[in-house]
Structure 1
Amino acid sequence: MATWTALTTLPGREPAEALGTAMEDMTPAPTGIGVFEMEDGSGLWEVGGYFDGRPDAAALALLAAAFGARPFAVSELPETDWVAKVRRELAPVQAGRFYLYGSHDADTVPEGVEPLLVEAAMAFGTGHHGTTLGCLRAFDRLVARGEPPGPVADLGCGTAVLAMAAARVWPGVPVFASDIDPVAVEVAEANVAANGLADHVRVLEAAGLGHPELQSAPPFRLVFANILKGPLIELAPAASAAIAPGGWAILSGLLAEQSDEVAQAWEATGLIVDRADEIAGWMTLCLRKT
């Protein structure tokens, strides 16, 4: 069965979410709706729906006009085995000592690496994106410098690859992985179990540090936050307070032009930028608490 998509953009989170909610009442009803902030610094939000049949063009036009959105772009998608496609196109990734691979590439794992099995799924963080890759490389450098281990929090964990990396090289320390998205939490739990780390990584559904276990766990030696500019700025005071003196924050999800603003927000809470690295237009910041 063919799938149809209808996509539009508009400024502002509240009108975008309201438009997404209004789309639920369409006939035919969409099988899925997504509302995302675009990562190009434009301030626009993308709203999209998936349909099993051609969506009602008149209804889409009325919704776009009512919420101040651009006209919907409607497209028919070919039938595709997306998991097979992702598996073909996502080759293994090496980031320092860490080697990320899918089960279909299990025979490619070289000796002398820390292997992390990450299956293709509906969560962010396979290691191919510049943000996840940058975080892994930053953590690898800390380990190589002999940074002493301590409790770790991976906030907005997606696939939990960063939490798993910490659990792999810092065995025995408490490691927490949290995400606001319940789908990501399920994916993270599956990946943690597949890597034999279920007893070492605690996966939680939470926004930021908004979970009792996270609030009682600090001080953290390391906090990962690979999310977006806005949430990173909002998170700075609470996360900084949860980091032990001399501890670290590794931040990403940032376009290069957004990094100064995020760095200033975190430096205002008592951390200093130790290093900033850019990969394909995406920045990773490594900060230390003084």
Structure 2
Amino acid sequence: MPSTERGALAGRSVSRVGYGAMQLERLHDDRAAAVGLLRRAVELGVDHVDTAQFYGNGFVNGVIRDALGSGDDVVIATKVGADPDPGAPLPIRLAQRPEQLRASVEDNLRTLGLDRIPLVNLRRGDRLPGLVAEGDQRVPLDDQLAVLTALRDEGKIGALGLSAVTLDTLRHALPAGIACVQNAYSLVSRDDEELLGLCAAEGVAWVPFFPLGGAFPGVPKVTDEPAVQAVAQALGRTPEQIGLAWLLHHAPNVHLIPGTASAAHLEANLAVAGIALDDEALAALAAVPSRPMDVSLR
């Protein structure tokens, strides 16, 4: 069984199961509950929290600022490349130009109450699922890396990551020093196996979003797979836990950031670090077919 306890992220040793803070927006009308949930996550051992300024138009970052102090020693990772767009059908828009990236880092610093963000991921507009860049939002990667590495040199960013990128994009960016990649990836959507392998070889953390598939109608869900359900029943776990545990077993550089607004679900998510999958279970899960997740958010 591989180590599921800790791994390297942005130069730090952290628990391989962190917390994705996007779901805190669901507690917008009860800020105290949102702060309490994040405090509970830290009490349970979470030391990696993933966020973005466009989560709730700064609300989630504000909750993180209120909930965490310097003594918590938590790696906070945020994303740039998109900005809030309140009132729009999809409340974000791409913000890929260098000046927009710098402004987004400054916005994150302000709303998080930090002088330095440990990890900043550039959310590119290269590929589905999600928003794809058009017009003036189609920006050369080198221009983006130039401003982000300058911000790193200024001490405002600790480490750089990439999100929603291709294999060629990562290869091109590696000389700039890439700490992690965040792409859509799950048991039922494994198109990025070569990209994951390159990350493992280069010591780059792999932080999958949509780790259970099915974030949109018509997209396969890990929990719908009979093999996942059978393994869950045999181990007395939920299908969601098996889908997350598979990711931890699949590659040693995987870090999870499952999100929830529920304390019970939080505890269930964090418990996946202790799930052992034997060879029989892993073989059954490996036989699950992979399908593409090409979904536009427009």
Compute the TM-score of the two structures, normalised by the length of structure 1: 0.31
Structure with the higher fraction of residues in strand conformation: 1
Using CA pairs below 8 Å that are at least 6 residues apart, which structure has the higher relative contact order?
Answer: 2
Q: More helix per residue: 1 or 2?
A: 2
